[in-house]
Amino acid sequence: MRRLTDPISLSDFQELHGLPPTREYGRNTVDSLARNVFSESSENEFLQPRIEEAKRMSKVADLMATEAITANVSETVREVAQRMAGTQVGAVLVMAGDDLVGVFSERDLAVRVIAEGRDPATTPVGDVATTDVVTVGADDGIRAALDKFRIGKFRHLPVVNDSKLVGILSTRDLLVTAIERLEKYIEQVGYERKTAAGIDPYDHFGGSYGK
């Protein structure tokens, strides 16, 4: 039986509070995050106050990458793919001058170039990028971004402010944030449990700051 003063791990926390194991945050990352970390419909009594606070504090601008990697519409797929590999990103924003005209992702490379037998060395990235671009506002809340990810089945969203491109948001950004918040919740649970048991929460090595 787990004692009140026992350390609490991530798996313990997930079991105690009805969260799926971390390994399940893969294929359905956005839906998992929406349901278990940022969801307004969560019935978890422990997480709900913290979720509401996190949602109020979090805007897209807080999580987005401001150094978005771009490509000119006329560049070849090979050039763009090499840039993606060099910068370790999964998508680039395709530009015609100052105008955002598309998003080129790893999926576009696989489905529209390799699977169709196109030559990456001669195919303009503008011909194979996703041109029906959906954006999200820098001041939008995380829930708005989650809805767009889920409904459109996107993994990347360009971020705009007053119609000006200012960054890019990915499902990875949300996942990292969700995990960081879960870790903070775990630390808080451990603190509260020790405090309730009359134990110094800072007594990690057999002594305390008060001794």
Q: Where do the domains of the chain lie? A: 10-58+173-195, 67-132
pLDDT tens digits, 7-34? 444 455 455 445 445 444 444 544 454 4
Mean pLDDT of 41-64: 62
**Residue 5 confidence (pLDDT) above 50:** no
Mean pLDDT of 103-113: 95
**Residue 205 confidence (pLDDT) above 70:** no
Sheet containing strand 91-96, strands side by side: 70-72, 91-96, 99-105
Q: Across the chain, what does the average pLDDT equal? A: 76
pLDDT of residue 51: 56
**Residue 176 confidence (pLDDT) above 60:** yes
The residue type at 208 = S
Report the CATH number of the 67-132 domain.
Answer: 3.90.1280.20
User: pLDDT-based confidence at 65, cuts 50/70/90?
Assistant: confident
The residue type at 180 = E
What is the pTM (predicted TM-score) of this model? 0.59
Higher pLDDT, 101 or 38: 101
- What are the structure tokens assigned to 175, written together? 């996942």
pLDDT of residue 41: 47
Mean pLDDT of 52-63: 69
Mean pLDDT of 154-180: 85
End-to-end CA distance of the chain: 31
Please tell me the least confidently modeled range out of 46-55, 69-78, 146-155: 46-55
3-state secondary structure of 136: strand
pLDDT of residue 84: 95
Torsion angle (degrees, nearest 10) of CA 68, 74, 78, 79: -50
